[in-house]
Copies of this chain bind each other. A is one copy, B any other.
Amino acid sequence: MTDHAFITGGAGFVGSHLADRLLALGHRVTVYDNLSTGLVEFLDDARKRPGFTFVKGDLLDGGALAKAIKGCDIVYHLAANADVRFGLQHPKKDFEQNTLATFNLLEAMRVTGVGRIAFASTGSIYGESVVIPTPEDAPFPVQTSLYGASKLAGEGLIAAYCEGFGFQSWLFRFVSILGERYTHGHVYDFYRMLRQDPTKLHVLGDGRQKKSYLYVADCVAAILTAVERAKDKVNVFNLGAEEYLEVDQSIATITAHLGLSPRRTYGGGERGWIGDSPFIFLDTRRIRALGWAPQVDLRQSIVRTVDWLKANAWIYERRA
């Protein structure tokens, strides 16, 4: 059975890959994106497919949203201010673009009778978990970032709409996603610095922060697996790899691949910035139990990302 999928943030990194995949599987896809960080170029493949529609619209515009969403079968809600690090510079951004936007989306769904939603949440929602690897039912977390708090609010709203209005949901707590069209995060920042000056590299924190990553195609496969196979009212899944790297190891992977030996300087401290988690590593047994497993390992996902950034240097101009 094919669906008509509505993808918020569908011109973004993960969203555009999801659009491509759903179209390849024969689904209809409407991408709703305000292009604040999404890029129309990421929809070049999607546009060639039948059943694709692009709507330039904002989640804060309830009227346009309801009009666009009407008649769709399922919403993939990927639109967000995905910038964890700079949240403190503009607290309103996470609140409006993540929390308020999610509320508006749920209201538009309720009014138009669209009752299924898959949501891109975050591993940051666990704050600094006392349990690592962190399972979905970890102890009630304490938020350490405005981004995490905004996603927690989004998850809570979605679950309440499931209970109150008969919605069904799939909530995905992501580690960092890497791959083609990746346009923010520390691998992006490292490559930008090395482009500007291959002889030096500045690292936030002490380089010992432990991070996990997931390749974007594996992330999309996990989302589609869960939506197809998980039947509860509210289905919560961690998405990540069964391994992690210290930031210094990620850097070594990048520089070795590029044949560079930059002199590294460090900001110091076990956190790269306020709200950074020194150790993000999620327990992914729940999604694996559905038959999903990542196909690309951490180092390979870093290498593919760097290769894509190298071949698409225009991204740095567009995002300057």
The interface of chain A, by Cβ under 8 A from chain B, is: 87-88, 91-92, 95, 99-100, 103, 106-107, 110, 127, 136-146, 148-150, 152-153, 155-157, 159-161, 163-165, 234, 236, 274-275
The smallest C-beta distance from A141 to any residue of chain B, in angstroms, reads 7
Tell me, in angstroms, the Cα distance from A274 to B160 when the chains sit together: 10
Q: Flag if A159 contacts B138 (CB, 8 Å).
A: no
A-B contact pairs, 5 of them (CB 8 A): A87-B160, A127-B159, A143-B155, A149-B157, A164-B275
Select from chain B the residue with minimum beta-carbon distance to A169: B142
User: Known interface pairs A110-B91, A140-B136. Does A275 touch B153 (Cβ–Cβ under 8 Å)?
Assistant: no
Which secondary structure dominates where chain A touches chain B? helix
Q: Flag if A153 contacts B87 (CB, 8 Å).
A: no
Q: Flag if B159 contacts A144 (CB, 8 Å).
A: yes
**B contact residues around A146 at 8 Å (CB):** 157, 160, 164
Report the copy number of this chain in the oligomer. 2
Q: Flag if B139 contacts A163 (CB, 8 Å).
A: no
Q: Flag if A145 contacts B163 (CB, 8 Å).
A: yes
Name which of A146, A149, A157, A274 has the most chain B CB atoms within 10 A of its CB: A149
User: Known interface pairs A139-B140, A140-B137. Does A165 touch B88 (Cβ–Cβ under 8 Å)?
Assistant: yes
**B contact residues around A110 at 8 Å (CB):** 91
Q: Flag if A148 contacts B140 (CB, 8 Å).
A: no
**B contact residues around A155 at 8 Å (CB):** 143
User: Known interface pairs A91-B107, A107-B91, A110-B91. Does A149 touch B159 (Cβ–Cβ under 8 Å)?
Assistant: yes
Q: Flag if A103 contacts B95 (CB, 8 Å).
A: yes
Q: Flag if A164 contacts B99 (CB, 8 Å).
A: no
Select from chain B the residue with minimum beta-carbon distance to A129: B140
Q: CB < 8 Å: which of B92, B139, B145, B275 contacts A137?
A: B139
**B contact residues around A149 at 8 Å (CB):** 153, 156-157, 159-160
User: Known interface pairs A91-B107, A107-B91, A153-B156. Does A140 touch B141 (Cβ–Cβ under 8 Å)?
Assistant: yes
User: Known interface pairs A95-B103, A153-B99, A153-B157. Does A142 touch B87 (Cβ–Cβ under 8 Å)?
Assistant: no
The smallest C-beta distance from A220 to any residue of chain B, in angstroms, reads 25
User: What are the 4 A-B residue pairs with the smallest beta carbon separation, nearest first?
Assistant: A153-B153, A149-B156, A137-B139, A149-B160
User: Known interface pairs A164-B275, A275-B164. Does A148 touch B137 (Cβ–Cβ under 8 Å)?
Assistant: no
Select from chain B the residue with minimum beta-carbon distance to A107: B91
Q: Flag if B92 contacts A107 (CB, 8 Å).
A: yes
**B contact residues around A138 at 8 Å (CB):** 139-140
Q: CB < 8 Å: which of B91, B99, B160 contacts A145?
A: B160
The smallest C-beta distance from A94 to any residue of chain B, in angstroms, reads 9
**B contact residues around A142 at 8 Å (CB):** 159, 234, 236
The smallest C-beta distance from A125 to any residue of chain B, in angstroms, reads 8
Q: CB < 8 Å: which of B107, B156, B275 contacts A160?
A: B275
**B contact residues around A87 at 8 Å (CB):** 160, 164
Tell me, in angstroms, the Cα distance from A282 to B300 when the chains sit together: 47
Tell me, in angstroms, the Cα distance from A270 to B177 when the chains sit together: 43
**B contact residues around A88 at 8 Å (CB):** 164-165
The smallest C-beta distance from A27 to any residue of chain B, in angstroms, reads 28
